[in-house]
Every structure is written in structure tokens, then in C-alpha cells.
Structure 1
Amino acid sequence: MNAVVVRTRAVIGLAVALASAGVALTATVANAATIETIAKQAILLDLTSNTVLFEKNADERMAPSSMSKIMTAYLVFEAIKGGRLTLESTLPVTERAWRMQGSKMFVELHNNIKVDDLLKGVIIQSGNDACIVLAEGLSGSESAFAAQATKRAKELGLTGTNLTNATGWPDPNHYMTARDLAILAEHLIKDFPEYYHYYSTREFKYHGITQGNRNPLLYRGMNVDGMKTGHTDAGGYGLTASGEREGRRLLLVVNGLPSMQARADESARLIEWGFREFATYALFKGGETIEQVPVWLGEQETVPVSVPKDLNVTMARADRVGMKVSLVSNAPVAAPIKKGDVVGKVLITAPGFPGKEVPVVAAQDVEKLGFVGRAFAAAKYLVFGAKS
């Protein structure tokens, strides 16, 4: 069968090859452009297209330090969404929380503090004491909270995570991976957009003490709006950061850097590289008809096909010129066909780009012909052969 060319606004020249092929959805890694980093662990994602732009030891266990407070905030946001807490709820300060060392919000012993203030203490001031108040308030004890956090991490797909506390306090059994932190951060951004603003707040005053947000990229005018720093002797200096430009959101996790200055400079360099060297291209809207695929023994001769959700692809800008988008399908597709049935795949290729495959589904039902119709179609095929 001759290839059909479909023109769209997003892609010039969509070659549609109708041939026997299986369908597989593969994770995309845009690895044409390369960069090195002094970070011990790192991963850079384009969340708009779910594409890994760069990674280094991303599945290596590491001490996440205060970056694991992202999970503490996540569980609090879930509790608020589930009706167990409100931002105006108050939680008591125990002696254990009051005595907690490290970075502090400076909670007052036996005081009752609003959840809204405690969240600001955790996210902006990195307060270990605020974490303990929230953990004890939600789960009765920090150890019970940590067990709940580890369980929730597994449910979210964080396969390299085990949490023993709510703060990131040094513990050899308290670990995450850079990839897990990226997955968690993405969940928080997407699951709780109404609370993400906490991460871009630059300072918070509590108990007469004003503290600035520790994320150095918030002050560099580079459209970064989150998320969390971390530092321990075991983990080095780390940062989980996210920013958005022109509809693209990048997410970076780095750890194992030697100093605060290196953390700031290296994080800024990696994010700028991601925005500069790569671009995200919108190919198809979810549900938009891509092509009509031939049907065998159906009440109609073709079925419209589409992608289930918006299809965006991220690749190095230099590779865009050679990008090809092909629809590969088992054609003709035998009736009956149900709306949503997978009938092929969209294949995106380009020089230096590892490729991306996305399933294509039927956009409507197609019933099977009755006995007479099938007999007529078979006779027609024997006489005239298949269309080309």
C-alpha cells in the first residue's frame, strides 16, 4: 500500500505506514545533547512531555537530607484534601518537637500552631521542629509518620525510597534516589497545584524571626518557582528545583555537591541548559483524528484513530529538522472495533533522538458486518483484490 501523507499544524509531513506491527509505549530519553556535572547524582526532566533530558546515577541510593521534606508536605496536603486537616487547624508543640535541632522554625513549647504556618515553616524555613509537629499531629509519632510516608512512597512508584523520619535527619536507613525525588516532586506539583505557591514564597516571619527561602534559584530571575534544598555530611548539598518557561516545565534533582555556591551555580547551569538546548513540540491533541485506518468486514470501511491524550515530544532543537512522525497500524483492522481499542502506534524518530512510541486508539465503534455483508465483502475481495 502506498504511504499516505497527512499535513498538520504541528508536523509537516506525517508519513502513515500501514503494516503489521506491535504496539509498545516506551519511556523517552532525549539524549542527543550532552552535558557533564560535578553532582554525584542528578536527573533533569521535561514534565510537559515526561522526557528525561539528562541523568547521572539517578537510581543510586543517597541521603536526601531536607529534600525528603517534600514527602512530609505531600502527606499534609493529602490530609487537607481528605478533610483530616485544614490550613486553619492547630497542632500542639511537644517537648520533642521543641528540642529538635538543625534548621528550625522556632516553635514555642506547648503552643498550638496553625497548619498553614507549619507548612511555611517546613517549606520556606526548612524547619525540622515544624516537621515533627506535623508528623506527630497526623500520625501520633514521627516513627509512625515515617512508616506511613514509606508506604505512600511505594504507592507512588518510588522504588528506591525508605524513610525513617519526617525531616531528613541523618540516618543510614533514610534514603531516596534522585529519580524517586523527581517522581515525588512531579506528583506534588500536579496533585496539589493549589498549594504549590508555598515553594515560591521567599521569606516567612514567625516568632519574631524572619527567614528567607533557602532555594537559591528563586533569586536569580530564571523562572524557578520551587522546591527544596538539602544538606547533610553524608548527602552533600542538594536541590530539587522546578521552573516554567513558555509552557515548558523542567524539574531538576541534584545531590552530592561540595558547597552551597556549587549547588546554586550547578543547578542554574543545568536548568538553563535544559531550556536552551531542548524544545517541546506539540504534535496532536488528545482525541484529535490523526488518520482513517481501513477496516476489514466492518459496517464502515475505515475507522478514525487518535491518541488518548495530548502528544508532545521533547528533543534537542538541532534534531527538529530531521523529525519524522509515522502512524504504524495493523491494517486493515478486523471488526468489531470498540472505541478506545489500541489499533496501532505513532512513532517519532529523528537523528540523535532515541525515538518515542505512543499507542493509537480507535475514536469510535465499528460493528462487524452481518453474514450477508461478510459474504459480499469476501466475494468482492476475491474478484477485485485489496485496495491499494
Structure 2
Amino acid sequence: METPVSCLNDLLRPLTALLVAASLAGAPLAALAQTEQPPKRQTQQPQKPPAKPRTTTTTPAKPTAPSVAAKTEALPPSQVGIGTLAKQAFMVDPQTSTVLLFKDADKPMHPSSMAKMMTIYIAFEEINAGRLKLDTRFRVSERARNMGGSRMFVELGSEVSVEDLIKGMIVLSGNDACVVIAEGLSGNEDSFAERMTAKARELGMTGTVFKNASGWPADGQWTTARDLAVLSWRTIEDFPKLYRYYSESNWTYNNIKQDNRNRLLRTVPGTDGLKTGHTEEGGYGQATSAIRDGRRLIMVVNGMTSMAERAQETARLVEWGFRESANTTVFRAGDTVAEAPVWLGSQDKVPLVVAKPVQITAPTGQAVTPRVVARFDGPIAAPITKGTKLGTAVVTLPDNRVVEYPLEAGADVQRQGVFGRVTTMIRHYLFGWLS
């Protein structure tokens, strides 16, 4: 039985596949290097990093760029939702699996530093499984120390704790931290990248292939906006205690203080993650999560032209999502959806309840009444333990999407005594009771 979270791909893929079929005809070529640079080191000159890949395409001089406000007057359209400056965009309410914004969200794009979310996911998974601890220390190799791009400035030969490496990847976007984790967990980065791709398939990220732990440009490394939204939600859902690291707005390591490049943490109420990224060819992107009054939205955008444009556009889209849509609660957690007949039980019926709230997303101010059908195999034989899954609530939304929620026993039902069972069976076979 799938929940609304696991339905994120299955329910929406048929619709959006039709919308974006034309856009999938051609894929971009190789990405260029990440250029989100950290501040220069104050205490010691780092070794010279490897040269970044460069494009051979020349671009003529451009006139002064118009402001973001001017650009929004004629925004490129989206297949679902409002127009946006982003080349790829995907916004979803994960609690209801409702897509609010879709623009080429299944089109291959460069993951850039947003790939680090998978490296972090695997590290979180190892911690939850008890195979890794926050105070576990990994040694810094020469390869890690010499990584270019954004860094946390680890020292060659030093040992760095897993907790510091997690902060280094999230807050500082450290490419060097990613290599240390990859080598510490898998021996080398290539093997770790294979593990990342395998985990992506396991999570349902069908359009993603990783080639390294940091998102450093590499041939054959791709993802989609939808896939990164799936990864974002699974991170929040699977690791609620560790997810807190994504909300840190700045951090100091090796006497160098750096701000989190996710400006929405400081400017948009409710923002608590996740990760920015940039390649010269793919543009500026960001995976964002924000929660207000118990409602969470997840958004992934890519293809902006500057950090400022990315910050303003992501803020505008998040505010639009919360302002123009709202959730209606159909059933609260513990509400009875139906009653099922009980066979040979101390009571004739057992309530079927939902463990989590059943909600639907609709435009703000619009009243929506879904159709709800309870499915179960009955009568249900006693004894029955409260919390046992007994059926499914099938919710059909006004747009004909179907979302399913598990139904559980809302009470314990004891088995009848010998005399009661005999009486019930006689009544059933002679008079058809419960038939």
C-alpha cells in the first residue's frame, strides 16, 4: 500500500510525461565547473586547485542586464502553475502529492552542488543504521585537499569528524568534504558515485545518474527537477532529527566563516533547507523546502542567471505557492473512515481509522469535496489488535487523481468465548447472519 509520499512519482508521471515529451528530445552536453566560490582563506594559502573545465563557446558582449522585476513582466510560461525565469522548475505539496509548478521538470539538467544532497542522504542513512557516528573521523586525502570550487578548507592528512563534514557539505557546499565522505565510506569516489546512483533508483529517481560525490561537472551526470524534489522530501521524511543541519545559516571551520548560500533561510519565513548549486552551462539552481502552519512545500529550480536572480525568484515562487493554494483536511489523524464487520469477535464491528491526516490541496478560497471509498476484506476475523492495517481509503480528487491512505483498526476486538462462537456460527449457518 503506497502512501501520498511514495505516490509522488507514480501518480503524476503519466500527466507530466505528456506535457514534457517534446522537451526530452534533446539533452544538453557536458556541464562546466561550479563557480560558487567561498571566501579566500585568511590564515594559510591553500594548494593550487585543478583547473576548472572551460567552454570553447564565445559570447558577445551584452548590454546592461534588466532587473529581475522587469524580467517578470514577460515570464516564460510553465506547463503547470505560473511563469518563471527558471529553465526547469518543480513545486509540490508532498503531503497531498499535488504539483503546483511544473516546467520541464523531467528534462535532464546538471545537478551541480545539489548532488551533494545524495551524499548527505547516504551519510544520514549510515548514521541511522548505527554504522557511522557523528564523532567518527575520516582522514583527508590529497585528492580531497586539492578539490577546487567551494570548500570547507580541510587540511591534508588531518582527521575530520563526520558531523563537521556534514556541516561542511551543507553550509559551506564543500567539494573537499564530499570527497572525504566518499572515500571514507566506499574507499574511492567512483565506487561511492555508483552507490549514489543505486540509491537514486531505490528512491524512484529514474532520471538521475551520479558520477561523483559533489556534483563537480562530469560527462554523463544528470538529474531532473522532479528527482531532486523526491530526494528532498525523502531526506526530510527519513531523517527528521538530522535534517536540522540544513537550516544552519552560517558556520566557521578552520577559522574561516562562511554563509550558507541558501539566502531564503534568512529572508523567507519557514524556510528550513535545502541546497543551492551552480554550473556555468546549467545556471544557478536551488532545492528549497519551507513549512508554515504545518504545511510544507518543496521546490526545485534551475537555470537562473545569477545568485541574486536565484534568491529573488525562489522567494517569489515560494510565497506564491503558500499564498495561492491551501490544504483542506478531509480526515484528522485517528478519525473513523468506515466500520468493518467482525467475525467471532466480542463486538460486531471495528472502526477503520487513518493514522495520519488526509488532506487535499486546492486554490485558496475554493471549496473541494473529494470522493472517499473504504476498501477492506470483511468480515474481519477476531482477535484484532488496534493499529493493525486492515484496508485502504481511496480518495478521488476533483481532477480525477487518486490517492490512497492505509486504514488501521481503531480499537482492540477480543475473540468470543466458546459459547459465543458456537452461537454465532449456528446463527450464521442457519439464518445467514453476517452473510
Query: TM-score normalized by structure 1?
Result: 0.79
Task: State the match for 1:206 in structure 2.
Answer: 253
User: Are the equivalent residues in 2 in contact too, given 1:48–1:280 (CA < 8 A)?
Assistant: no
Q: Does 1:225 align with 2:284?
A: no
Cα shift at 1:346: 4.2
**Aligned pairs (5 A) from 1:139-218:** 139-218=186-265
The one-letter code sitting in structure 1 at the alignment partner of 2:286 is: L
Distance 2:237 2:176 in 1: 27
**Aligned pairs (5 A) from 1:239-278:** 239-278=286-325
The alignment partner of 1:290 has SS state of strand
Runs of at least 5 residues in structure 1 that lack an aligned partner in the other structure: 1-22
Task: State the match for 1:10 in structure 2.
Answer: none
The one-letter code sitting in structure 1 at the alignment partner of 2:129 is: G
Given candidates 347, 351, 357, the residue that maps to 2:395 is 347
User: Are the equivalent residues in 1 in contact too, given 2:362–2:368 (CA < 8 A)?
Assistant: no
User: Are the equivalent residues in 1 in contact too, given 2:171–2:259 (CA < 8 A)?
Assistant: yes
Distance 1:24 1:270 in 2: 27
The one-letter code sitting in structure 1 at the alignment partner of 2:236 is: I
Distance 1:87 1:341 in 2: 36
Task: State the match for 2:84 in structure 1.
Answer: 37
Distance 1:93 1:131 in 2: 11
Give per-residue Cα distances to partners, 1:7-41, cap 9 Å, x unaligned: xxxxxxxxxxxxxxxx9997667999831222121
* Further displaced range: 63-72 or 307-316: 307-316
Task: State the match for 1:13 in structure 2.
Answer: none
Distance 2:205 2:233 in 1: 12
User: Taking structure 1 as reference, are residues 154 and 357 closer, same or farther at Cα in structure 2, changes over 3 Å only?
Assistant: closer
Distance 1:131 1:262 in 2: 27
User: Taking structure 1 as reference, are residues 62 and 291 closer, same or farther at Cα in structure 2, changes over 3 Å only?
Assistant: same
Cα shift at 1:132: 1.0
User: Taking structure 1 as reference, are residues 252 and 300 closer, same or farther at Cα in structure 2, changes over 3 Å only?
Assistant: same
Distance 1:232 1:337 in 2: 60
Higher relative contact order (CA 8 A, sep 6+): 1
**Aligned pairs (5 A) from 1:1-388:** 34-292=81-339, 304-307=351-354, 309-319=356-366, 321-327=367-373, 335=379, 345-350=393-398, 353-358=399-404, 361=407, 363=409, 372-378=426-432
Cα shift at 1:376: 4.1
Share of identical aligned residues, percent? Answer: 43
Distance 1:202 1:296 in 2: 58
The one-letter code sitting in structure 1 at the alignment partner of 2:174 is: G
The alignment partner of 1:283 has SS state of strand
Paired residue total: 354
Distance 1:308 1:223 in 2: 26
Distance 2:308 2:202 in 1: 35
Cα shift at 1:253: 0.6
The one-letter code sitting in structure 2 at the alignment partner of 1:347 is: V
The one-letter code sitting in structure 2 at the alignment partner of 1:50 is: S
The alignment partner of 2:130 has SS state of coil
Query: TM-score normalized by structure 2?
Result: 0.71
Distance 1:76 1:360 in 2: 30
Distance 1:44 1:242 in 2: 10
Runs of at least 5 residues in structure 2 that lack an aligned partner in the other structure: 17-78
Distance 1:38 1:170 in 2: 23
* Further displaced range: 151-160 or 298-307: 298-307
